[in-house]
Structure 1
Amino acid sequence: MADAVVPHFANDAGHPKIRIGVKEFMCVGARPPFDHPHIFIDMGDESEQVCPYCSTLYVYDHALNATETEPAGCLFEPGRAHAA
């Protein structure tokens, strides 16, 4: 059920930093089949957090909505095919 409300982000391109518009999210690493365990990350009072698996630095940006990322294209929608 939580998958429906918690955004998931992927980093196929190996970006060192991804700006996102939420502080609670799931990191999947790269998209399947190259993903790591999908982990929940909560920034709490902080504005950035590093994924312990893929070392992606996620930075909170209040100007972005929950499904936007900078660079664009890092939103992962479980169960939906990804166009290359």
Structure 2
Amino acid sequence: MQRSLTWKDIWQMAPLRISFLIRSVYDLLPSNANWGKKDDPTCPLCHSRQTTERVLSSCKVALPQRRYTWRHNRVLQELASVISTE
């Protein structure tokens, strides 16, 4: 799926969302490969180079294990919890 962002879309975004967008496009989000936190820059699941794209959506091991769905659902559960207490 391809999505185009207009300048109007970007100007209406929250600052943290813009920051995330820019950092993800330039592969600056935390990962083994770009932060140098580990001696080994490979993904612990599939053993390919751990990039932002792989972490967010394309690890061949995480996809069939439904790890992305689990992470998505956990975020939604946390939001629902905060909203219900407010």
Please, what TM-score do these two structures have when normalized by structure 2? 0.24
Flag the structure with more relative contact order, 1 or 2, with Cα contacts below 8 A and sequence separation at least 6. Answer: 1
> Which is helix-richer, 1 or 2?
2
- Structure ID, larger Rg: 2
The structure richer in strand per residue is 1
